[in-house]
Structure 1
């Protein structure tokens, strides 16, 4: 994790109603890191308001705030930003140096490539690899030594750290299309839907996450001053989902265009993007768009293409563009162009 130089006073309690999603297995992993050093985690657990009886319950979950507080205290006491994962401690500031080394990259793709390469300077226990294929990017971890009982916590944390920093670099959520892990599904497997907000598979060859490769082309929008400020409180990037998505409009438009005949509702679109309908509407509004506007754009493009390049009857064009009937299509098309579909077809074709 990065260099979270948080204030020394006790953090404010978690807000009422905060979702407890982080599995107790990760708390136990941090306690194991203390045990490996012959140290007592009681102070860190108390700072995170994790009671002994809660820690003893493997089914229990903690909130994002509690995980932040626990990791902050543990990193300070152990002086190890890796929390016992690797063959040696990563002293305070190690991940901050990696973040700074990536900051001058012009695009996210180059920044993540640097992150992967420089991570090898910190440890030989794992190696990170960024690849792209067919419009999809993958960030994978190759294990080069036995990670022991901290394996799950390590692999999950390293991937979330990289995704969190990447999101901060481009000021955008980096939606995960899929995540794989090289171990059997744990008892808390349902927590992975929250940890990665996408489908997770277990028993894979290696740990990896996939996301839309278009994000790699986005420019970094942060500078050194912003980096200094972020490193004062970086842990939220690794344990909380980044809200904004700078490619959401493009992703929605692509989804609609891939199935133009489907009757896309906010519920079905949001489900495919692993969002709630409310979040979908809110994030589109932040980008100056609405779902209906995007649906109209895709329908109009599909309809005009078919009218111009095919001899399909108007009824079939309406169906192919996603309209329930010909009448509603003609009304919508006239609103878009000021012409009926038949008039548009006649005027868009050269005279014989």
Structure 2
């Protein structure tokens, strides 16, 4: 079940020829002939050995899917033993009954070790972020990039589908040199990329871990019939986006943050951020007003700073405009509101 970029489209040629060569190398390892598989994907020999060639996700699905079945190896020669067709489907089944994403990812890490110890998945949770990393236990040779990128896309694609949310990555790191086809990486992962790192890993907001699973066993059966298409079609709904924007605005403590500033903190384009907020029936402007209100309430309830200073902290030009806005929010003036908490 080869996962592709969640932001790509089936007709857009994004998969680099280097990954096509990875499939061809799998046939070479098992002494097979890749001709039929390449034909299934409508991939020409010239493209296979092109330095900057690309194929569409639909082409790669046909190519890799045929190869995995014919070679009976979903790992396509990466590991010391074959992973028979359906292996990653079993991994999904072992995780689908989890109550939330954190439990599911812990299961994924633990159960993947039953498949192979050539690479080990690890989940680490910090104060604000969660990290999924891959520890290499053996030399993956010239299949290293293909293997590590695909493994991370497997777990990320499954996670997005299971919690019905685009999981926005804060960073993605890889233990190899920047490849010539690096231009596809922001689409496959995110804009914040590092190469020659200590290990392959993806980093995201830890609050995604608490999202509950929304899929049934029947949903999983349906998904596994076209796992690649699942990750090709975009997940436009980020179930944490509104809260992530709120957090950025709260941390700004009244600073004048433009759309570009907020989007940059979220590792999104401004256009994407505005579109996704619209899909969540809100806007950056509304969330800014909400953040101002919450900040003003907190300062007033503390009861120490002058009203004029609170107006500045909340991002208002003067006390008068702050008082007018606050009365609209609460029906009371800032002084009246403060008096209720003294």
Tell me the TM-score normalized by structure 1.
0.88
1:115 aligns with 2:101: no
What is aligned with 1:348? 340
**Counterparts of 1:269 and 1:255, CA distance in 2:** 7
* Gapped regions of structure 1 (runs ≥ 5): 4-13
Correspondence 1:20-35 to 2 at 5 A:
20-35=13-28
Offset at residue 183 of structure 1 (A): 1.3
Deviation at 1:112, TM superposition (A): 0.9
Contact 1:164 1:242 in 2 (8 A): no
Partner of 2:6: none
**Structure 2: gaps (5+ residues):** 4-8
1:46 aligns with 2:39: yes
2:190 maps to 1:197: yes
- Which has the larger displacement, 79-88 or 232-241? 232-241
- Asked whether 1:266 is paired with 2:259, we answer yes
**Contact kept? 2:223, 2:230, Cα under 8 Å:** no
Q: Is the 8 A contact 2:172 2:190 kept in 1?
A: no
Alignment partner for residue 304 of structure 1, among 280, 285, 297?
Answer: 297
In structure 2, relative to structure 1, the CA distance for the partners of 1:189 and 1:284 (3 Å cut) is same
Write out per-residue CA displacement over residues 172-216 of structure 1, whole angstroms, 9 at most, x where no aligned residue: 111111111111222222322111124111111111111111111
Distance in 2, matches of 1:63 and 1:319, equals 52
Counterparts in 2 of 1:307-326, with a 5 A limit? 307-326=300-319
Kindly state the Cα deviation for residue 337 of structure 1 after the two structures are TM-superposed: 1.7
Q: Cα offset for 1:341?
A: 2.9
Distance 1:83 1:310, change over 3 A: same
Contact 2:2 2:61 (8 Å CA) reproduced: no
TM-score by length of 2: 0.90
Aligned length: 337
CA deviation after TM superposition for structure 1 residue 123, in Å: 1.2
Structure 1 residues 179 and 288 mapped into 2: Cα distance closer, same or farther (>3 Å)? same
1:8 aligns with none
Question: Is the contact made by 2:237 and 2:280 (CA closer than 8 Å) also made in structure 1?
Answer: no
Aligned counterpart, 2:208 = 215
2:59 corresponds to 1:92: no
User: 1:66 corresponds to which residue?
Assistant: 59
Higher relative contact order (CA 8 A, sep 6+): 2
